[in-house]
């Protein structure tokens, strides 16, 4: 399978970084062809400036710095996103990636008559997400109703068509758990991606 992994965390020695490494190693061990983007290491610019916004709906005006990300998105049969959940959502770096890369003419088509947008990433049949939360399960799932998960699975996943399979793995209360629990979650991630 052709897999585009997108990772967003500023610290190379973080627990999230170790999860990212495990995902990539597991996919490669399966024989998958992996294009791995570490947005921080690649100095991805998440900020959409005024001129880019003016041309946002014109496929001929795609900024050159986005082309490598767009090419990978069009090439991929699966996408995997690895990031920490901050303030009940994805970090600004990853949000900027979606704002700038999953754009009209790439991720979706906007009909001239103003009708319903149509998905364009029909090449993607699977979406994987691995995230960590500082908050406990009850806060994220019950009190907040997991807005980050809704954005990815109810919003962005629909740009990939109707029958996309997904895997969504979350480790809650990550700041206060033991090394054994961190290891157990990492092994769970590995097992799930072995059959992704």
What is the third-level CATH fold of 2-194? Answer: Rossmann fold (3.40.50)
For 26-75, how does the pLDDT look when each residue is reduced to its tens digit (9 = 90+)? 999 999 999 999 999 999 999 999 999 999 988 889 999 999 999 999 99
All residues at 6 or more sequence positions from 2 whose CB lies less than 8 Å from its CB, including other chains: 32, 33, 35, 75, 76, 77, 78
- Hey, which residues does 133 pair with through a beta bridge? 85
pLDDT(4) > 90: yes
Pairing of strands 2-7, 33-38: parallel
Contact assessment for residue 152 and residue 168, using Cβ atoms and an 8 Å cutoff: yes
Contact assessment for residue 102 and residue 73, using Cβ atoms and an 8 Å cutoff: yes
Contact assessment for residue 49 and residue 31, using Cβ atoms and an 8 Å cutoff: no
What pTM did the predictor assign?
A: 0.94
Using DSSP's 3-state secondary structure scheme, residue 115 falls into coil
For the chain, domain boundaries:
2-194
For 125-142, how does the pLDDT look when each residue is reduced to its tens digit (9 = 90+)? 999 999 999 998 898 888
Distance of CA 52 to the CA centre of its chain: 22
Using DSSP's 3-state secondary structure scheme, residue 130 falls into strand
For 14-26, how does the pLDDT look when each residue is reduced to its tens digit (9 = 90+)? 999 999 999 999 9
Q: State the Cα–Cα distance between residues 47 and 146, nearest whole angstrom.
A: 25
Q: Compute CA distances 8 → 1, 47, 124, 139, 152, whole Å.
A: 22, 15, 20, 23, 15
Task: Determine the angle formed by the axes of helices 179-194 and 15-30, rounding to 10 degrees.
Answer: 30
What per-residue confidence (pLDDT) applies to 114? 81
**In the block, residue with structure tokens 């109810």:** 154
């Amino acid at each position: 399978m052709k897999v585009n992994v997108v990772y967003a965390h500023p610290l190379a020695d973080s627990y999230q970084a170790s999860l990212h490494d495990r995902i990539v190693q597991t996919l490669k061990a399966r024989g998958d062809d992996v294009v791995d983007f570490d947005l921080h290491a690649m100095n991805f610019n998440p900020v959409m400036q005024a001129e880019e916004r003016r041309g946002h709906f014109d496929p001929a005006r795609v900024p050159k710095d986005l082309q490598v990300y767009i090419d990978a998105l069009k090439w991929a049969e699966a996408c995997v996103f690895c990031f920490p959940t901050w303030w009940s959502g994805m970090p600004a770096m990853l949000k900027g990636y979606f704002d700038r890369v999953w754009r009209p003419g790439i991720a979706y088509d906007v009909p001239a008559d103003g009708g319903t947008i149509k998905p364009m990433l029909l090449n993607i049949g699977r979406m994987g997400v691995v995230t960590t939360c500082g908050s406990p399960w009850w806060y994220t799932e019950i009190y907040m109703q997991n807005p980050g998960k809704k954005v990815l699975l109810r919003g962005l996943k629909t740009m990939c068509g109707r029958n996309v399979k997904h895997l969504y793995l979350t480790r809650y209360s990550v700041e206060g758990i033991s090394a054994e629990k961190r290891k157990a979650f990492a092994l769970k991630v590995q097992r799930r991606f072995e059959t992704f």
